[in-house]
Structure 1
Amino acid sequence: MVFGSPISFQEIDEEALITGGKVMAFTVIFGIIAILQTFCEHHHIAVMREASVPILFGLVFGLITFIEYFSGGIYFDPKIFSFVLLPIIVFKEGYCLNKQHFMKNYFYVLIYGIFGTIIQFLLSFSFTYSLTNSNNLWYPPKNSTDEDQSFYSQMFFSACITSKDSAVSLSVLEFEHAPKLHSIIFGEQILNDVIVFALSSTTQRYENSNDNFKRGDWYNFLIFIGLALAQLIFGLLVGIATGLISTWITKNARCISEHSSVLTIFTIYCAYFAFSFCEAFDFCGVMAVLICGIMMSHYQTYNLPKLSANSSKITIKALAYATETIIYFYIGFAVTGNEINNIDRLQYYTIYPFVLLQFFIIQPVSRLLSMLASQGLAFLIKPDSKGALRINRYEFLILFYAGLIKGVIAYALICEVDIDYAKYSPYYPYINYAAMYSIIGTTLFIGGSLKYVTEWAYQQMDLGHLQESSDNSEYKSNLKQTFIREDIKAYESAIQNNQKWFKKFDENYIKPFLIFNYLERKQDILTAKKIKKNKHTIEKQEEEEMQMYEDSIRERREKQEMKKAAKKSKLTNLDLDSEAEEEEDSQHHQNQNKSNHH
C-alpha cells in the first residue's frame, strides 16, 4: 500500500500564499511595535514615545516599497478610516473618560478648547493665506485656475493643522503629580477634536455650490459660524439621545448584563450608530460618538457588573490602541513609500518650504497668539482667580509646547474630505503631504523633547517655590524624572465648590432615571467610589514613602562613600608626609657624614 501526500503543493494558490505571507509579515511587524512601545515606556526612553515607534517602522517599510516586488503599492481607503477606525478612537476618549480629570479646571478647558481653537484656526488661515499669495515661496499648481478652490483649500488645511494630540503630553504629565496641567491638556484635547471636525465639515459645506453664498459677501462669517454651531448642536443631541437610550436599555434589559461579550459589542454598536447617523445627514459624527461615550461611561457602568464594565473598557482601549498604531504606521509609510513617487518634481520645491514655514513659524506663532488671547479672556472673566487656579509662565510654556504636537485627528480630517475633491483638486496632494509631514515632525521631535522641556520648567517652578518659602518643607524639591509636586491641597480646595450644583441635579434626577435601583444602591455606590479613591491615595502615599526610603538609602551610601574617600585621602596625605620626613632625615644624615669626613 502506498500512502500519498494528502496535499498537493502544485495546487496551492500562489495569490493566497502571497496574501498569507503579507498578513503574516504585518502581524510580526505590529507585534514588534507593541513590544518596543512597552519597552520604551518601561525604561522611560523620552525620545521614543508610543506614537514614534509605529511612525519609524512605517518610514522604514516605506523605503522597502521602492523594491520592484512591492511596486504595486498599498493604499488606504479613506472611507475605511472614517467609518471603521476613527469612531472607536473617539469613542474611547469618551467611554474611558476620567471625569475627575475632565471636570477639574473646566474653566481653562473651555477657554483653551473652544475659544483658543477657533482663534488658532483663524490665525493659521490668515498666515497661510498670506503665504500662498506672496508668490515667493509658493508656486500654485499648473492646472489651478479657480481662486475659490484655493481659498477653500487653505481653510481646510488650517482646520486640519489646528488639531492636537495629547497622548504624548499625558504620558509625560501624570495626574497624580501635575493635576492642573493634566486636566487642562486632557480636556482641551477632547474639545479640540470636536471643534476642528466641526470647522472642517463647515469648510466643506462652504465650498459646496449648493449653499449659494460667495466669498465676497460680508455676512459669510456669520453663515460660517452658524453652520459650525449647527454641526455641534446636532451631534450633541444625537450623542445624548443615543447614550440615554442605550443606558435605559441596559437598565431594563437585565439579561444583557449577564454576558460580558454581548454587552461589549452592544456598547460598540451604539457608538457606531451615533457616528453613522450624523454622517448620513452630513453633520459632525465625532461630537455624537464622543458625547455618547461620555453618557454611557457616566451612567451605563452602574447598570453592569464590575467584571462586565472593566472588560468593556479594556476591549475598547485595546481596539483604539490597535487602530492608532495602524494609522501611525500608515502615515510613516505613505511619506516614504510609493505614493510620494506620484508627486511632480515642482511640488517638492513647494511642499518642503511650505512645511518648514508651517512647522517653525506659522503654527508656533498661531498657537502662542491664541493662547495669549485665551489667557486674556480668562483674566477678563475671572480677574480674581489666584493661587492654584492661576496659570504661571512655566505652565503656560508647557501648554504651548504640548499643543504643537499633531496626531491621528489631523490625518482623520484629511480622510474626511470629499472624494471628488481628493481626486480632481490640484491642491489636495499639498494638503495631504504637508499634514503628514507635520504629524511626523511634531511627533518625533517635539514629542521626543517634551520631557526635557517639562523638566526644565518644573525645576524653575520648584526653585521659585523654594525661594518663596525656604523654611517650609512642603515645597522642598522632590522631583523625579518629569514629575512636579504641585500644591494639590490648595488646588483641590479651590475647585471643590465648582461642581456641587451639577452633582446635586445629577444625584436627584438623572441617575434615578437611568440607573437600576439607584436609590437602593446609592449608599453602596458612594462607598465603592470612596474606597476606589482612597485606594489610589494609599497607593500614591506608599509609592512616595518607598521613593523617600530609596532616596534616604542613596544619601546614606553617598555619605559613606564620601567618608571613605576622605579617610583614603587623609591616609594618603599621611603617607606622603612620612615619606617627606624620611627623605629629610636621610638628607640630614648625608650632610652630617659629609661634614665629618671633611
Structure 2
Amino acid sequence: MMNNHHHTLWWLSAVTIVVVLWSMEHTEALSYADAKAATRLEMAAEKRATIIHRLDTAILLMFVSLLVVIVLTTWFFKHHRFRFIHETGLTLIYGIFIGILIRYFNLGIYESQTLDVIPKNVSKIFEPPDYLRLSVARQSHRDDNVQFHYELIEGFYGDTKQHEERHVEQKTTFSPEIFFNILLPPIIFSAGYSLKKRHFFRNIGSILSFVFVGTTVSCVAIGSIMYVFCWLFNMPFNFQELLFFGAVISATDPVTVLAVFSEMRVESDLFALVFGESCLNDAVAIVLSQIIDNFSASPNTVFDFHELCLAMWNFGYVFFGSLFLGSFIGCVNALFTKFTSISEFPLLESALFVLFSYISFLVAEVVELTGIVAVLFCGICQAHYTFNNLSEESQTRTKHFFESLSFLSESFIFCYIGVSIIISNNQKWNVIFLICALIAIVFARALYVYPLCVFLNIRRRPVIPKKYQHMIVFAGLRGAMAYALASRNISTTNRQIMSTTASMIVIFTVLFNGGLTSWMIERLGIKHGDSAEHSRPSDEGARSESHPTTPVSGQNPWDKAFLPRKWYNFDAYFMKPLLTHASPSLMQTMPSICLPLSRFLSSKKQQEHFASQFDNSDSLECIVDEQQENRLYENPFTRAL
C-alpha cells in the first residue's frame, strides 16, 4: 500500500511539471512578432496584453504546481525520513531546477524588443526617473502619436549587461516588496499566534540578550572581519558597506532547524531560545540596516558620540514603538470581540481577526516603524487575549488558517529564491568575498553566543549548558530575510556582490546546516523525544491559560523573578479581566471605589458570573472566605488598601 502511495506521488509530480512546461511552451507560440505584424497600433497593444496575460498565468501555474510538488514531498517525508536532507532544502533545489529550465532552455520566452533611451538634450541624469514617457506613431497616421508610460523596475535593476530583457525574467526575479508586504506577515503572525508563551517568556531575558546584544555584536564583528579580509585581498569595499552587509546577513532564519526540533521533540528551553532569537533578530537586523543605510546616504556626516546616541535612540524608538503598536492593535481587537456579539457570526469574526492582524503590519510600515515586530506582538496579544473571546468555530478556523498560510508562504519563499537566483541578471560573483563571508558569519556568531551564555549563566537557573550553546551556534541559518534585505537595493556593483553572496549563504546554510541538524542533535547528546518529555516540568501552568478562571501568582513554579511575577499579577488581575471574559472580573479585583467603572468595563458574561455568586447568600460577607482574602492581598490594586 505504501509503495502505491509513493508511485502516486511521483506520477503526480511528473504530471504537474509536464503541464507547466507545456503551458509555457504554448505561450511561447504566441510570439511578439504576431503582435508586431498587426496593422493597427491598438490591435498590436491588445495582442501584446493577451500574450503577457497568458505568460503571467503560466508563471503562476508554475509556482502553484511547484507548491503541489512540495506538499507531496512533505507528505512523503512524513513516512520516510532521510538523515541528511530536509524538505526545505528540497524546496530550494526544486526552485533552482525550474530556474535552470527557464533560463537555459528558453521556456516561456516571447520575442521582445529593448530600446536604449537617451535623455532629451543629451543631459546627464543622476537619479533614475520613476516613469518614462515614450511616443509611438500610429501606422495609419504618421503624425498621430500615442503616449506609452513605462515604470521603473522595482528595486534598482542594476543590470549592466547589454541584452534583450525578457518578461519571464522580470516576473520570476525575487521581489523584496512582495516578500515584505505579502509573504512575510502571515509567517511572523503565525509564529506569535502559535507561540508557547510559557517557555518563551521563561527565557525572555536570554532571548532579548541574544537579540539586542548578539545581533549588534554580530553586525560589527562581521563588518570588521570582512574589512580586514577586503584589505588583505584588495577588494574595493568601504567599512560602511561592510557594516551594512553585517547587519543584513545577521538576520537568522532557522526554519529547517526548528522543523527538525519539532519533529524530534527537543527540550523546550532550547527550542524557545532558537525560536525567540529568530523571531526578534530579524527586526533588529532590519533596523540596524536602515540606520547604517541612512548614515551611508549622508557622506558628509561624521560618526561621533552624538550620532551614536542618535542611532541608539532611533533603534529603541523603532523597535519598542513597533512592539507597543502591535500590542495596542491586538488589545483593540480583544476589546471589540469582548463587547460585541460578533461571535454569533463566526465567518465575520474570523475575517475581522485576520484583517486586524494585517493592519498591525501595514500601520507600522506607514508610520516608519517595523511591521515585523508589530505583527509578531499583535499575534502574541491576539493569542493571549482575543483568542479567549472568539467562538469555538473561529478559534479552530483562525488557527488552521494561519498554520496553512504560513506553511505555503514559507514553501513559496524558498522556491521563489531558488528560481530567482538562476533567473536574475544582476548577479555579480566574487568567490573570495563569498568564502570570507562564510568564515566571518561563523566567527561572529560564536563570538557573541559563548560569552553571552557565560554572562547569563551567572544568574540564570537552569543554566544554558554547553551542548545548547553549540547547537545555538550551529542553528544560525540564513534565510529569506537576509536575501531580501540584500536584494532591496542593487544599484552598484558592490551591492550586487553582496546580494549574490547572501543568496549563496542562504543555499549553503539551508542545505548544510539544515541537513545536519538531526545528526548534530544526536552528536551533542541533546535530549529529544520521550526522554525530553520526561525531563520537562509539568505543563499545568501552561494549560491553565485556557481555563476560564485566571490563575494567580505562585501557581507557576517558574515565575520566581521579580519582573515576571509583577507582570503575572498585573495581567491576572487587570489585563485579562479587562480584555477577556475571564474571572475574577474587574469588579472583584479593583478597589470598591472603582466599582462603577469596573462594571462598565465588564462584559455581560462577567457581570452574570459576578451576580451568580450572591444567589444563595444573604450578604456579601458570606462569600468572602480566607482564600479570597489571601488572593486580595496578592492583588496589586487592593494590597495598598
Normalised to the residue count of structure 2, the TM-score between the two structures is 0.67
Asked if 1 retains the 8 angstrom alpha-carbon contact of 2:386 and 2:580, the reply is yes
Deviates more, 1:180-189 or 1:506-515: 180-189
Q: Give the match for residue 502 of structure 1.
A: 567
1:367 maps to 2:456? no
Deviation at 1:371, TM superposition (A): 0.9
User: Hey, what's the Cα distance between the residues in 1 that align with 2:583 and 2:533?
Assistant: 38
Instruction: Identify if the C-alpha distance between structure 1 residues 15 and 84 changes in structure 2 by more than 3 Å, giving closer, same or farther.
Output: closer
CA offset digits 1:302-360 (Å, max 9, x no partner): 1011221121021112112212211111111122x231x444xxx43x2x22122222x
The code of the aligned residue for 1:290 comes to L
Match among 247, 254, 262 for residue 166 of structure 1: 254
1:227 maps to 2:314? yes
CA offset digits 1:227-246 (Å, max 9, x no partner): 11111122122112211111
Instruction: Identify if the C-alpha distance between structure 1 residues 437 and 176 changes in structure 2 by more than 3 Å, giving closer, same or farther.
Output: closer
Asked if 2 retains the 8 angstrom alpha-carbon contact of 1:101 and 1:186, the reply is no
Higher helix share: 1
User: Hey, what's the Cα distance between the residues in 2 that align with 1:429 and 1:234?
Assistant: 32
SS in structure 2 opposite 1:282? coil
SS in structure 1 opposite 2:516? helix
User: Hey, what's the Cα distance between the residues in 2 that align with 1:18 and 1:117?
Assistant: 42
Asked if 2 retains the 8 angstrom alpha-carbon contact of 1:201 and 1:283, the reply is no
Asked if 2 retains the 8 angstrom alpha-carbon contact of 1:127 and 1:362, the reply is yes
1:100 maps to 2:198? yes
Deviation at 1:47, TM superposition (A): 2.6
Match among 273, 281, 295 for residue 206 of structure 1: 295
Q: Give the match for residue 400 of structure 1.
A: 473
Asked if 2 retains the 8 angstrom alpha-carbon contact of 1:128 and 1:362, the reply is yes
Asked if 2 retains the 8 angstrom alpha-carbon contact of 1:37 and 1:53, the reply is no
User: Hey, what's the Cα distance between the residues in 1 that align with 2:277 and 2:56?
Assistant: 42
User: Hey, what's the Cα distance between the residues in 2 that align with 1:59 and 1:313?
Assistant: 32
Q: How does 1:582-593 map to 2 (within 5 A)?
A: none
User: Hey, what's the Cα distance between the residues in 2 that align with 1:43 and 1:294?
Assistant: 34
Instruction: Identify if the C-alpha distance between structure 1 residues 279 and 16 changes in structure 2 by more than 3 Å, giving closer, same or farther.
Output: closer
Instruction: Identify if the C-alpha distance between structure 1 residues 22 and 395 changes in structure 2 by more than 3 Å, giving closer, same or farther.
Output: closer
Q: Give the match for residue 586 of structure 1.
A: none
CA offset digits 1:397-445 (Å, max 9, x no partner): 1111112x11222234335x4xxx43x3332211211111111110011
Instruction: Identify if the C-alpha distance between structure 1 residues 78 and 295 changes in structure 2 by more than 3 Å, giving closer, same or farther.
Output: same
Deviation at 1:15, TM superposition (A): 5.4
Instruction: Identify if the C-alpha distance between structure 1 residues 183 and 17 changes in structure 2 by more than 3 Å, giving closer, same or farther.
Output: closer
1:37 maps to 2:74? yes
Deviation at 1:52, TM superposition (A): 1.1
Match among 384, 405, 409 for residue 481 of structure 2: 409
Alignment: residue pair count: 465
Structure of larger gyration radius: 1
User: Hey, what's the Cα distance between the residues in 1 that align with 2:420 and 2:175?
Assistant: 13
Deviation at 1:177, TM superposition (A): 4.4
Asked if 2 retains the 8 angstrom alpha-carbon contact of 1:86 and 1:412, the reply is no
Asked if 2 retains the 8 angstrom alpha-carbon contact of 1:116 and 1:373, the reply is no
Q: Give the match for residue 105 of structure 2.
A: 67
1:258 maps to 2:344? yes
Match among 331, 334, 338 for residue 423 of structure 2: 338
Match among 309, 328, 351 for residue 395 of structure 2: 309
Normalised to the residue count of structure 1, the TM-score between the two structures is 0.71
Deviation at 1:457, TM superposition (A): 0.8
User: Hey, what's the Cα distance between the residues in 2 that align with 1:213 and 1:495?
Assistant: 52
Q: Give the match for residue 19 of structure 2.
A: none
The code of the aligned residue for 1:265 comes to A
Q: How does 1:452-491 map to 2 (within 5 A)?
A: 452-458=519-525, 484=532, 487-489=535-537
User: Hey, what's the Cα distance between the residues in 1 that align with 2:324 and 2:559?
Assistant: 29
User: Hey, what's the Cα distance between the residues in 1 that align with 2:514 and 2:97?
Assistant: 20
SS in structure 1 opposite 2:493? coil
CA offset digits 1:61-86 (Å, max 9, x no partner): 11112222345212343222222222
Q: Which has the higher contact order (CA 8 A, sep 6+)?
A: 1
Q: How does 1:550-565 map to 2 (within 5 A)?
A: none
Match among 231, 246, 257 for residue 333 of structure 2: 246
Where structure 1 has 5 or more consecutive residues not aligned to the other structure, the ranges are 1-9, 141-149, 463-478, 526-598
User: Hey, what's the Cα distance between the residues in 2 that align with 1:262 and 1:119?
Assistant: 46
Deviation at 1:189, TM superposition (A): 1.8
CA offset digits 1:9-45 (Å, max 9, x no partner): x999665554444433332221011110232244222
Asked if 1 retains the 8 angstrom alpha-carbon contact of 2:94 and 2:418, the reply is yes
Instruction: Identify if the C-alpha distance between structure 1 residues 487 and 32 changes in structure 2 by more than 3 Å, giving closer, same or farther.
Output: same
Instruction: Identify if the C-alpha distance between structure 1 residues 215 and 426 changes in structure 2 by more than 3 Å, giving closer, same or farther.
Output: farther
CA offset digits 1:382-406 (Å, max 9, x no partner): 1xx55xx112222211111112x11
1:153 maps to 2:259? no
Deviation at 1:489, TM superposition (A): 4.1
SS in structure 2 opposite 1:365? helix
SS in structure 2 opposite 1:242? helix
The code of the aligned residue for 2:205 comes to F
Match among 423, 426, 432 for residue 353 of structure 1: 432
Asked if 2 retains the 8 angstrom alpha-carbon contact of 1:120 and 1:366, the reply is yes
User: Hey, what's the Cα distance between the residues in 2 that align with 1:500 and 1:241?
Assistant: 22
SS in structure 2 opposite 1:163? coil
Q: Give the match for residue 616 of structure 2.
A: none
User: Hey, what's the Cα distance between the residues in 2 that align with 1:490 and 1:275?
Assistant: 35
Q: Give the match for residue 474 of structure 1.
A: none
Deviation at 1:103, TM superposition (A): 1.9
Deviation at 1:123, TM superposition (A): 1.1
Where structure 2 has 5 or more consecutive residues not aligned to the other structure, the ranges are 1-29, 31-45, 110-165, 542-555, 586-604, 610-641
User: Hey, what's the Cα distance between the residues in 2 that align with 1:44 and 1:215?
Assistant: 55
SS in structure 2 opposite 1:173? helix
The code of the aligned residue for 2:107 comes to Y
Q: Give the match for residue 562 of structure 1.
A: none
User: Hey, what's the Cα distance between the residues in 1 that align with 2:345 and 2:229?
Assistant: 58
Q: Give the match for residue 448 of structure 1.
A: 515
Instruction: Identify if the C-alpha distance between structure 1 residues 451 and 70 changes in structure 2 by more than 3 Å, giving closer, same or farther.
Output: same
User: Hey, what's the Cα distance between the residues in 2 that align with 1:280 and 1:130?
Assistant: 38
Match among 218, 232, 237 for residue 120 of structure 1: 218
User: Hey, what's the Cα distance between the residues in 1 that align with 2:303 and 2:328?
Assistant: 39
SS in structure 1 opposite 2:397? helix
User: Hey, what's the Cα distance between the residues in 1 that align with 2:351 and 2:84?
Assistant: 37
User: Percent identity, aligned pairs only?
Assistant: 23
Q: RMSD of aligned C-alpha atoms?
A: 3.1
User: Hey, what's the Cα distance between the residues in 2 that align with 1:494 and 1:303?
Assistant: 27
Q: Give the match for residue 143 of structure 2.
A: none
Instruction: Identify if the C-alpha distance between structure 1 residues 225 and 60 changes in structure 2 by more than 3 Å, giving closer, same or farther.
Output: same
SS in structure 1 opposite 2:560? helix
Deviates more, 1:32-41 or 1:482-491: 482-491
User: Hey, what's the Cα distance between the residues in 1 that align with 2:259 and 2:565?
Assistant: 30
The code of the aligned residue for 2:270 comes to L
SS in structure 2 opposite 1:266? helix
1:110 maps to 2:199? no
The code of the aligned residue for 2:337 comes to T
User: Hey, what's the Cα distance between the residues in 1 that align with 2:303 and 2:61?
Assistant: 55
1:378 maps to 2:456? yes
Instruction: Identify if the C-alpha distance between structure 1 residues 195 and 19 changes in structure 2 by more than 3 Å, giving closer, same or farther.
Output: closer
